[in-house]
C-alpha cells in the first residue's frame, strides 16, 4: 500500500481541494482543515458548553472524528464546512450528555461525596464511608479505578482515558456500570 499523496501548500487550498485531500488520506489537508475551521468548531463548542477546557476537548474530538470518518464525507451532500459543523454538533451533544450523566451519577452516588469531606465525623458519615467502601470493593478493579479517578482526583472521563490509556467509550462504560452497581448496592444496604 502506497503512502498517501501529500499536497504542497504553496498557495491556500480551496475547500474542495482540502476535502479531496482529506478523503485521500493527506495529513497536510487535515492540518489545513484544522487551521481553517478549528476556530469555528471551538467557538460553537464554547458557546454551547460554556467552558474553554471542554470546548478544547470537543475541538480535538471533532478533528479526530474528521480524520477517522473522512471516507464518509460526500461532497454531493454539501460543503465540507457543513459536514464539519454536523460532526461538531454531535460531539457537543455527546459532551452535554456526558455532563448530564456525570451530574446524575454524582447525585445517585451522593454517599461517595461524603468521603471527600473527612472533617465531618458524624456517625452517619462514618457509616456512609463504610458502606460505600464495602460496595466499591465489590466492583471489578477497572470500575473501581475509574470511579476513584473521577471522584477522588476529580478527573473528567477524557482525562481518565488519557491517564489510563483506555478508549473514552470504555471509560464511560466502566463509570456508568460501576455507578449503577454502586447505587444498587447502596440501595440494598439501605433497605430500599
Q: For the residues of 91-121, what is the DSSP string, one character each?
A: HHHHHHHHHHHHHHHHHHTHHHHHTT-TT--
Q: What is the model's pTM?
A: 0.53
Domain covering 15-99, topology: Rna Polymerase Sigma Factor; Chain: A (1.10.1740)
Q: CATH 1.10.1740.10 occupies which residues in the chain?
A: 15-99
Give me the phi and psi of 191, to 5 degrees please.
85, 15
Residue 114: band (very low, low, confident or very high) from pLDDT cuts 50, 70, 90: very low
Which range has highest mean pLDDT (103-117, 132-146, 175-189)? Answer: 132-146
**What does the pLDDT look like over 22-53, one tens digit per residue?**
999 999 999 999 999 999 999 999 999 998 99
Please give the CATH number for the structural domain made up of 109-190. Answer: 1.10.10.10
Per-residue model confidence as pLDDT tens digits over 63-106: 999 999 999 999 899 999 999 999 999 999 999 888 887 766 66
Considering the chain, tell me which residue range(s) the CATH 1.10.10.10 domain(s) occupy. 109-190
Put residue 120 in one of left, alpha, beta given phi > 0 → left and psi -120 to 50 → alpha.
Answer: beta
Amino acid at each position: 500500500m502506497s503512502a498517501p499523496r501529500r499536497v504542497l501548500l504553496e498557495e491556500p487550498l480551496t475547500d474542495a481541494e482540502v476535502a479531496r485531500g482529506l478523503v485521500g488520506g493527506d495529513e497536510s489537508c487535515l492540518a489545513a482543515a484544522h487551521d481553517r475551521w478549528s476556530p469555528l468548531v471551538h467557538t460553537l463548542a464554547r458557546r454551547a458548553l460554556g467552558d474553554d477546557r471542554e470546548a478544547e476537548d470537543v475541538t480535538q474530538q471533532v478533528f479526530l472524528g474528521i480524520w477517522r470518518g473522512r471516507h464518509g464525507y460526500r461532497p454531493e451532500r454539501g460543503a465540507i464546512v457543513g459536514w464539519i459543523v454536523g460532526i461538531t454538533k454531535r460531539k457537543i451533544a455527546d459532551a452535554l450528555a456526558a455532563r448530564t450523566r456525570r451530574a446524575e451519577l454524582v447525585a445517585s452516588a451522593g454517599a461517595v461525596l461524603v468521603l471527600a469531606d473527612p472533617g465531618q465525623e458524624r456517625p452517619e458519615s462514618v457509616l456512609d464511608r463504610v458502606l460505600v467502601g464495602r460496595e466499591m470493593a465489590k466492583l471489578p478493579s477497572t470500575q473501581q479505578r475509574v470511579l476513584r479517578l473521577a471522584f477522588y482526583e476529580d478527573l473528567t472521563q477524557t482525562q481518565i482515558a488519557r491517564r489510563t490509556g483506555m478508549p473514552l467509550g470504555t471509560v464511560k462504560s466502566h463509570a456508568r456500570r460501576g455507578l449503577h452497581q454502586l447505587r444498587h448496592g447502596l440501595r440494598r444496604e439501605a433497605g430500599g
